[in-house]
Amino acid sequence: MEWEWKLIREACTGCGISADVCTVGAIRMTREMPYPEPVPLNCTFCLDCPDECPFDAIEIHEVRLAAFK
């Protein structure tokens, strides 16, 4: 199963909460960055970031891979 992390920029305020709650370093954000960036290889899909975002600015979706015929 593959997953995709999506930031909804229209809703994101750049507050940094998502990066703060991520314990595995899967979200990168510095003071100079207007928005957080995902670090997909670190993500364990614990879903803490969308759960803790007070602005509902993060979505995580399952990516369905096409079956080989």
Please give the CATH number for the structural domain made up of 2-63.
Answer: 3.30.70.20
pLDDT at 68: 62
Buried b (16+ CB within 10 A) or exposed e, 30-53: eeeeeebebeeeebeeeebbeeeb
Neighbours of 57 (CB within 10 A): 22
Walk along the chain (69 residues) in steps of 10 and give the mean pLDDT of each run: 86 96 95 93 91 95 71
* SS3 state of residue 60: strand
**Angle, CA of 1, 63 and 38, to the nearest 5°:** 95
Residues facing residue 3 across a β-bridge: 62
pLDDT at 66: 65
pTM above 0.95, yes or no: no
